Structure 1
Amino acid sequence: MSDLILHHYPTSPFSEKVRLILGYKQLAWKSVIIPRIMPKPDVLALTGGYRRTPFLQIGADVYCDTALIGDVLEQREPSAPLFPATQKGVARVLAQWADSTLFWAAMGYNLSPKGAAALFAGQPPEAAQAFAADRGAMRSNMTSLRPGDATAAYRSYLRRLSTMVEEQPFLLGDAPSMADFAAYHPLWFSRVVNPAVAGVLDHTPAVLAWMDRLAALGHGHMSKLTSAEAVAVAAAAQPLPLTGDVFQDDHGIALGSRVTIAAEAFGTEPTEGILRAATRTRYTLERSDERVGTVHVHFPRIGFVLREVKA
């Protein structure tokens, strides 16, 4: 079985979500540290355009978006399930809310003028400017919450999460689910990455205790890999065969068509390739690169836009 290779960087909140899932499932994985801002030549060689962090590589297969990565890890190691048998829909809906609404409120607070000043304290002004420009480009078609609005929403959401873990250890019961990992990572950014703004969490001690329980899961069994080595792994491998029902036609775009896939909102850089699968839940593109050879790049349907490339 091919190694799990996670392309990430230490302070990425969505990466922390996946790192904790790897810990919960006690999986072994390879760690590739990637730049947090552009340029990212090795990333784009593998993904073809997608540049959000993290992404998961297994040989010559590349999985984009943490919702899809969670499904891949669930299939890899079904024990310690991410989706409780009687609450699968609830876990997915709550995780989607946490990865979007909660995340953007939290980051609007975390990167408010006060938060940004603390985060980049001691660094040259160019570092903050480069980060702001990079994320600004990724948010080009989004409406951002103003800091005051984000702060008010974040505090409300923390109180709501608190009511869910005051009488039980995790959001949906006695064991963690995808909902916990999705709700945890933006709060982790406040507490760990930018502790100057962590005081917002002090008003919800039940949330802090819940965070401690999740942090105790650890990050699994990690070993290091360089970005160049990961590229070489892809070049030496072939994409996994596609099996089962690989086509649910919702767009009138046939398999074998040249298409692009891009995120609906944040980080909308498209990946172009040949559509090899459009299942009920995901898309698969085949693309070729002189450095990595032929790869399959996989995206979830939800949150992504499929378009045909017209000749």
Structure 2
Amino acid sequence: MQDLILHHYPTSPFSEKIRLILGYKQLAWKSVIIPSIMPKPDVLALTGGYRKTPFLQVGADIYCDTALICDVLERRQPSPTLYPTHSKGVARVLAQWADTTLFWAAMAYNLSPRGAAAMFAGAPPEVAKAFAADRGAMSTGMTRLRPGDATAAYKSYLRRLANMLESQPFLLGEAPTVADFAAYHPLWFSRVRNAVMGDILNATPAVLAWMDRLAALGHGSFDKIDSGDAIAVAAASQPLALGDEPFQDEHGIALGSRVSIAAETFGTEPTEGELVAATRMHYTLRRTDERAGTVHVHFPRIGYVLRALDAA
């Protein structure tokens, strides 16, 4: 069985979501630390354009977006499950809310003037400017909450999470689901990455206790490798055979077409390639890179836009 290779960096909140799931499932993995801002030449050699963090590599297969990565890890190690039968639908819906609405409220709060000053305290001014320019380029056209509005929303969301934890240890019952890991990581950023902003959590002690339970799961066992090694793994591998899930055509774009896939909002840099799968839940592109060789790059359907490229 090929190694799980997570491309991430330590302070990435979405990476913490996946690191904890790896710990929950007690999976061994390889760690590749990538830059937090562009340029990311080794990332693009594998993804072809996608530059958000993290992404998961299994040989010559590249899985983008943590929603899809969660499904890949579930297939690799079905127990303990992220999607209990009795709450599978609500767990996915709650996770999607946490990865979007909760995340953006939390980050607008975390990166308010006070939070940004604390994050970059002691760093040269150009570091903060480079980070702001990078994230600005990724969020072109997005509506961002102002700090006051974000703080009010964040407090409300924390109270709602606390309500869910009044009589049970995790959001949907006695064991964590994908929803717990999705709701945890924006709060982790407040508590751990930018601790000066963590006082907002003090009003919801049930949330803090829940965070402690999740943090205790750890990150599993991992070894560090560099990005060049990961690219060499892709070049020496062949993409896994595609499953027999039926083609689901929602766009009038045939398999074998040249297409681009990009996120709907944040980080909309496209990946181009040959469409080789479009199933109920994901897309797969085949692309070739001079360093990584032929790879399959996988995306979830939800949150991504598929477009045909002109034959010319």
- Alignment TM class, shorter chain as reference: over 0.9
Aligned to 2:143: 143
SS of the residue 1:284 aligns to:
strand
Q: Cα deviation per residue 1:280-306 (whole Å; 9 max; x = unaligned)?
A: 000000000000000000000000000
> Which structure 1 residue ranges, 4+ long, deviate > 6 Å from structure 2?
none
Q: Distance in 2 between matches of 1:297 and 1:289?
A: 12
Aligned to 1:225: 225
SS of the residue 1:86 aligns to:
helix
Aligned to 1:297: 297
Aligned to 1:57: 57
* TM score, norm. by length of structure 2: 0.99
Aligned to 2:267: 267
Runs of at least 5 residues in structure 2 that lack an aligned partner in the other structure: none
Q: Distance in 2 between matches of 1:298 and 1:259?
A: 13
* TM score, norm. by length of structure 1: 1.00
Asked whether 1:210 is paired with 2:171, we answer no
Q: Distance in 1 between matches of 2:46 and 2:202?
A: 41
SS of the residue 2:122 aligns to:
coil
Q: Cα deviation per residue 1:100-159 (whole Å; 9 max; x = unaligned)?
A: 000000000000010000010010110000000000000002010001000000000000
Alignment of 1:1-311 (within 5 A): 1-311=1-311
Question: What residue identity is the alignment partner of 1:149?
Answer: D
Question: What residue identity is the alignment partner of 2:122?
Answer: G
Report how many residues are paired: 311
Question: What residue identity is the alignment partner of 1:118?
Answer: A
- Distance apart, 1:246 and its partner CA: 4.1
Q: Distance in 2 between matches of 1:187 and 1:218?
A: 16
The percent identity for this pair of structures is: 77
Question: What residue identity is the alignment partner of 1:277?
Answer: A
Question: What residue identity is the alignment partner of 2:156?
Answer: S
- Distance apart, 1:41 and its partner CA: 0.2
SS of the residue 1:274 aligns to:
strand
Q: Cα deviation per residue 1:13-43 (whole Å; 9 max; x = unaligned)?
A: 0000000000000000000000000000000
Question: What residue identity is the alignment partner of 1:266?
Answer: F
Q: Cα deviation per residue 1:178-224 (whole Å; 9 max; x = unaligned)?
A: 00000000000000000011000000000000000000000011110
Q: Distance in 1 between matches of 2:81 and 2:193?
A: 28
Q: Distance in 1 between matches of 2:151 and 2:129?
A: 23
Question: What residue identity is the alignment partner of 1:77?
Answer: Q
Runs of at least 5 residues in structure 1 that lack an aligned partner in the other structure: none
Q: Distance in 1 between matches of 2:204 and 2:86?
A: 28
What is the alpha-carbon root mean square deviation over aligned residues?
0.5
Q: Distance in 1 between matches of 2:247 and 2:171?
A: 35
